[in-house]
Amino acid sequence: MTVERPGSVEECMPYVNVALNMEMSDEDARALAEKVSALASELTGKPERWIMARVEPGCAMCHGGSFAPAAFVEFKSIGLDEGDCGRLSRGVCGLLSREAKVAPERVYIEFKTLHGHLFGWNGGTF
């Protein structure tokens, strides 16, 4: 069996992890993960087949001294352009506001550029 490889290292990723302080059903968490994956593809122009999205509901998370709905997002990607972070932030905050009812001012996002040779996949690295 041949494993498809990305056309270029820059085509790979991102990994988006969304931690939420509210509970949701497995079905709702999976649906949100699918929407996060599609949005990451749309915003980065990278094929969705290389994107990994994870949603972690029910985290013990306090923001601003309150347990009102809040989210912490990790957005990591090979070849992430720092100039795109504002646009990515708007997109992620908009999605979380619509789909999870988290106000944009209660979302923190950590953007991180990764180097392909330091990220493993399929028994090797990118």
Compute how many other C-beta atoms are within 10 angstroms of the C-beta atom of residue 43. Answer: 19
- DSSP string computed for 62-86: -BTTB-SS-EEEEEEEET--GGGHH
Half-sphere exposure of 73 (CA within 13 A, CB side): 30
Sign for the pseudo-dihedral over CA of 29, 54, 82, 44: negative
Closest residue by Cα to residue 55 from 78, 36, 76: 36
14 is catalytic: yes
Choose, from 14, 47, 69, 104, the residue flagged as catalytic. 14
Report CA-CA distances (Å) from 91 to 26, 59, 64, 95, 104.
Answer: 23, 22, 23, 6, 10
Residues noted as catalytic: 14
